[in-house]
Structures are given as structure tokens and as C-alpha cells.
Structure 1
Amino acid sequence: MSAAPALRGSEMRALQHFILFAVIAYGSAAGSESSQGFGSAHKFYRVADGKADARTYNGYRRYHAGCNHCHGPDGVGSAFASSLVARPINIDTFRRVVLRGQSSGGNSVMKGFAGDPNFAPYIDDIYAYLQARADGALGRGRPERLKP
């Protein structure tokens, strides 16, 4: 029996992207049993006339301070991280993945942010922003703020 040929760099990256997508898709499906998600009646955001409440606006700011580097502008995804608005996950799964990270076969796919003071306290704000994007309540780009 002959050994399998080694993967080239581009083939390895394609395989890593496939594994990342599979892990995230599995996490989305596994967490879909929760009743509190993007599709539920409970909304974490308030948007009126295209303007976001303080929580959702802060979520936009926090998302674009770090999450967009991997998950793309406005949560639409990138070549190596999935969209967070096309196939949204429920709040419990979102909190778990953001705090603990995500791994596949012993390899870290996404690090956890439990110890990061710039993200951990604002998980629900980021979720509110992504929920508003997924629901179509907010478009791409910086939202205007609702006046209190």
C-alpha cells in the first residue's frame, strides 16, 4: 500500500475552511433546540426608522472592534469564518462559543473571549447587533443611534 500524498498549502487551507464550516454548522444545529433565538419573539434589540438603541449600537462597535476581523464586515462572513447573520444561532450557544471558543479534533477554530474585558461583558450587545442584522432590521454599515 502506498502512502497518501501530502496536501499542498492551498489544499490544506481549503480543508481547514471546510472543517471550520462543518464545526460551526454543527454548533448551530446542536444549539437550535433552545427556544430563545433569532427566530423567537424575544428580541435583544430595538430599531426604529433604521436607528439602533444603545445596546445594539454598542454591539455594532464591539463587533467591529474584533469580531469583524474573522467574521467579516457586518457579520456577513469571510473566507475562513462563517456568516453570523445568514444562519444565526440562539443566545445560549452564542454565549458559550464566544466565552469558551470552538474547537474541532483538538484544534482551536476560535479562541474563547471569557477573559477579554473588551468582549466578555458585551456578549449580549454583540448578539443584539447580529440579531438586528439577521432580521433585516439593520443594514450594513454604522447604524444611527436612537435618541433616549
Structure 2
Amino acid sequence: MYTRFAGRLAVAAGLICHVAPATAQAADTALYQVSDGSKVDGHTLAGWRTWRAMACERCHGAAQEGMVGPSLVGSLKVLSKEQFKEVVLKGRIEKGMPNFDGSKMVADNIDSLYAYLKGRSDGAIQPGRLQEIGK
């Protein structure tokens, strides 16, 4: 009950934290933290920076809504974290998705990249430039 109330309070305060369903995790283990749609925690910001550095928008669009590649806003509603990691790291060559397991930046930031894209998929993070919360 307390977790549900705290979640509603966070949304009302403009802080949206995604916590895995059916768990009562502490706020510091939330997948991502967002304020005002464009301010995120450092972990999530690293994911956005990875997205930008790898130029993923060339195929998935600047707002992650798809172009040559599929909409990630839609895909992350159905892919598990493990499935996402497999696709990004191993690729889907037959569908035009290269593998990124050879990229140190992607490998080091795969959880952050997932957090960023999950926040976009959930509608909590707005498209465009992000800043770190509190900076």
C-alpha cells in the first residue's frame, strides 16, 4: 500500500520513477528517474549519451518512433530487458540490425541504454536533449 501511495505522490510531484512491477524496491533501485520529462538521473543520462554517440536515430528515428528500423517506443513495451540486450549486442542481421557487442561504449552502458529507452517507451522521458537531475 505504501509503495503505491509513494508512486502516486512521486507522479504528482513531477518525479516519475519506473519500478519493476509487483516489487517494492527502494527508490534508489528504480530503473530510471525523471523530472519534467527532460531531466534524468545520471545512469539514464549515460544511456541517452550512448544512444546519441552510436547514432541510433539513423535507423530508429530521433524520437525512437521508427524509420528504417522499428519503433523502439513500441518495441520496449513488449521486449524484456534480456531480449533487448540480446538484440542490441548480438543484432538481427537478417533484419538489418547490426550487432554492437564489439562496442565498448554499448557493452558498458547497455543497462543505461535500456533505462533510457524504457523511459521513452513508458512516456516518462520526452524526446530531445536531456539534462541530469539537479544540475
> 2:8 is matched with which residue?
none
Inter-CA distance 81–61: structure 2 relative to 1 (3 Å threshold) = same
Question: What are structure 1's unaligned runs of at least 5 residues?
Answer: 1-37
Q: Amino acid of the residue matched to residue 90 of structure 1?
A: S
- Report the Cα distance in structure 2 between the residues aligned to 1:141 and 1:96, rounded to whole angstroms: 26
User: Which residue number corresponds to residue 103 of structure 1?
Assistant: 93
Match of 1:83 among 51, 55, 71: 71
Q: Supply the distance in 2 between the matched residues of 1:52 and 1:142 (Cα, whole angstroms).
A: 11
TM-aligned CA deviation for residue 86 of structure 1 = 2.0
Report how far residue 118 of structure 1 moved: 2.0
Measured in 2, the distance between the counterparts of 1:117 and 1:87 equals 24
Task: Give the Å deviation of 1:56.
Answer: 0.9
Residue 46 of structure 2 corresponds to residue 55 of structure 1: no
- The aligned counterpart of 2:3 is none
Indicate which of 113, 116, 120 corresponds to 2:100: 113
CA-atom RMSD, angstroms? 2.2
Which has the bigger relative contact order, CA under 8 A and spacing at least 6? 1
Provide the rounded CA distance (Å) in 1 between the counterparts of 2:96 and 2:19. 26
SS in 2 for 1:85: helix
Normalising by the residue count of structure 1, what TM-score does the alignment of the two structures yield? Answer: 0.64
* Partner SS, residue 88 of structure 2: helix
Letter matched to residue 60 of structure 1: W
Percent identity, please: 36
Give me the whole-angstrom Cα distance separating, in 1, the residues matched to 2:19 and 2:57: 23
Q: Deviations over 1:63-94 (max 9, x none)?
A: 1222122111131111x100101231210000
Select which of 64, 70, 74 maps to 2:59.
70
Structure 1 residues 87 and 113, CA, compared in 2 at 3 Å: closer, same or farther? closer
Aligned-partner residue type, residue 99 of structure 1: L
Q: Deviations over 1:28-50 (max 9, x none)?
A: xxxxxxxxxx9942752111333
Instruction: Give the TM-score taking structure 2 as reference length.
Output: 0.70
SS of residue matched to 2:93: strand
Q: Name which one, 1 or 2, has greater alpha-carbon Rg.
A: 1
